[in-house]
Structure 1
Amino acid sequence: MDETVLTEDGIRLWATRIGEGEPVVFCHGGPGLWDTMADVAASLAAVATVYRWDQRGCGRSERSGPYSVARTLADLDAVRAHFGLERMALLGHSWGAQLALRYALAYPERVTKLVYVSGTGIDLGSTWHEAYERNLRRGIGEHVARWELLGSMDRTDAEDRELCVLQWSADFVDRDRALQHADDMATPWFGVNFECNAALNAEDKRDWGSPQLRDRCAALEVPTLIVDGAEDIRPRSAVDSLAQALPAVSRVSLTGAGHLPWVEDPTGFRSAVGGFLSGYRA
């Protein structure tokens, strides 16, 4: 059942829950996108109560700012409070993995476990982004000219969707099914919040990659599982420094999977994440 979470500044956030067991709150990717992990929630419902939500200005949530990392962390805490959770596990994907890590660093006493899926680590983006751009263009393949054209022009909503489907298709290893997987991600289509995307990405660039961040991660005692698709177009070496910094961490790399590993290896993903979560102890 859909629910409305009201933030402290009066913004309405969409949320929903499914399952039975220890509480796990999902943090979707983006920024500026929406939750597309209903299938993940369903696969984990036997071992956890899964809470999904759309971040401020995104998807089914109210399209209103302001947009900042601090504001998004406060919104995540509003989701926790709305559902009456004293403590919770967090599962974050891509940008959401960074968000979940930030929350755990800010409020470690409220986080039981952290599942860090397809994130990009704690180093500066410049250490991996050039390789990502090469891999992205290679993954888009024969559609790269159309993708470039769409990216350079003023677009309709339908053209925004086309651009995203072409770009997201590069995130899948199975090229025969990549466009269909990407189209599934874009259905239903809620529209990208590019203002939110720009604001949060700019903030990440300012404060990611510092020695202080590494030290904070080294002091984080929250048990963490890092889950990677081995063929993610974002180099997995970007996550190495995070894995080395965290004191209570395990890591699973799923062969034959890309940026959304639960799509291309659902069994391996469910086994790794479900096993980690079901071993929860308060």
Structure 2
Amino acid sequence: MHQGSRIVTLKNGFHLFTRTVGEGDVNLLCVHGGPGGTHEEFENFAEHLADHHVRVSMYDQLGSFYSDQPDYTKPENRQYLTIDYYLSELEEVRQQLGLDHFYLLGHSWGGLLAQEYALRYPEHLKGLVVMSMIDNLDEYIENINRERDETLSKRDVAYMKEVEADERFDDPKYRELVDVLNNHFAMRHPENGFSHNVETMATPVYNYFQGDNEFVMVGKLTEWDRRADTHKIKTPTLLTFGDHDTMPLDTAERMHREMSNSRLVYTPDGGHCHSTDNPKAFFHTLGEFLDDVEAGTFNQSKQGVAADEK
């Protein structure tokens, strides 16, 4: 397999940035969040998983910073703003990178695609990691509204709702309140992350699927619901969430019960981006999962691991 960075050309003619780092026989393909994020959240995975002999592959999806960015105002490019397209793109990347019998990790939006992939292409998977993503958006919307109500004053919540109704998302006070929520539930320790001199989020993709921010879900993803199919995923699966996640942990526990071959672990002091918030705990969990599947000892006793056990 090619090591380092590589541009792949899709059948549709667009180009995607891919990167493979690390040495070993265990192949892990990581799918970023957003929608519209980048592969960069996985750049440190190979280093942290070196003792587990893991080779980490990652890529930027169409529209993201390091890959081609179509003009989505053109009608001919709207066909690429669908879950089915991004799922087919994932499978094409898998083929171009020469991966089979591999581990698939998806974070947030990437976790949605990972679930879709496990349902459609289970024959290619050795293991699945769903990171901070549940199986529907209804329960997510309910949870982020509850978190907002419990964290902010009634006056501030009312102000945010007024701004959202008027779509004045650049309002300074509104942005300040979004930052407060992000610091509680999205990324609790941004000092552990990375920064850029320019904005790298693919805003057109994010706005279409999500909305303006993590706490106002009005995009196309509101229609997504896989609750009826969760039990069909039989691949050895790690469900990993931050203990202060934007995702509802009650739903995570219900998914764990319904998935016969799963393990649920909470990362302490972790938000939605818990691999950044608490990398020591997160990579311990991920490495243990990979080792157990490789050894054939995964899930011999089907128990979740509470946050305070890490």
TM tier, shorter chain? 0.7 to 0.9
The answer as to whether partners of 1:15 and 1:52 remain within 8 angstroms in 2 is yes
Larger Rg: 2
- CA distance in structure 2 between the partners assigned to 1:186 and 1:148 by the alignment: 30
Deviations 1:61-114 (A, max 9, x none): 111242111111111112111111122111111111111111111100011100
- CA distance in structure 2 between the partners assigned to 1:189 and 1:114 by the alignment: 30
- The equivalent of 1:127 in structure 2 is 139
Percent same amino acid among aligned pairs? Answer: 24
- CA distance in structure 2 between the partners assigned to 1:277 and 1:117 by the alignment: 14
- CA distance in structure 1 between the partners assigned to 2:197 and 2:116 by the alignment: 29
Give the direction of change, closer, same or farther, for the CA distance of 1:278–1:242 in structure 2 (3 Å limit).
same
Q: Which runs of 5+ in 1 are unaligned?
A: 156-160
- CA distance in structure 2 between the partners assigned to 1:196 and 1:61 by the alignment: 15
The yes-or-no answer on 1:40 pairing with 2:45 is yes
- The equivalent of 1:52 in structure 2 is 58
Give the direction of change, closer, same or farther, for the CA distance of 1:105–1:40 in structure 2 (3 Å limit).
same
- Of 250, 265, 290 in structure 2, the residue corresponding to residue 277 of structure 1 is 290
The answer as to whether partners of 2:268 and 2:281 remain within 8 angstroms in 1 is no
- The equivalent of 1:158 in structure 2 is none
Q: Which runs of 5+ in 2 are unaligned?
A: 71-76, 211-217, 297-310
- The equivalent of 2:304 in structure 1 is none
**TM-score in terms of structure 2 length:** 0.74
**TM-score in terms of structure 1 length:** 0.80
Aligned Cα root-mean-square deviation (Å): 3.6
Give the direction of change, closer, same or farther, for the CA distance of 1:246–1:188 in structure 2 (3 Å limit).
farther
Give the direction of change, closer, same or farther, for the CA distance of 1:154–1:202 in structure 2 (3 Å limit).
closer
Q: Higher relative contact order by CA 8 Å / sep ≥ 6: 1 or 2?
A: 1
- CA distance in structure 1 between the partners assigned to 2:94 and 2:273 by the alignment: 25
The answer as to whether partners of 2:187 and 2:273 remain within 8 angstroms in 1 is no
The aligned length equals: 271
- Of 7, 17, 21 in structure 1, the residue corresponding to residue 20 of structure 2 is 17
Deviation at 1:31, TM superposition (A): 1.1
Paired residue type of 1:57: G
- CA distance in structure 1 between the partners assigned to 2:176 and 2:13 by the alignment: 33
The answer as to whether partners of 1:139 and 1:169 remain within 8 angstroms in 2 is no
> Where has structure 1 moved over 4 Å in runs of 4 or more?
136-141, 143-151, 161-167, 185-188, 199-203
- Of 90, 96, 115 in structure 2, the residue corresponding to residue 101 of structure 1 is 115
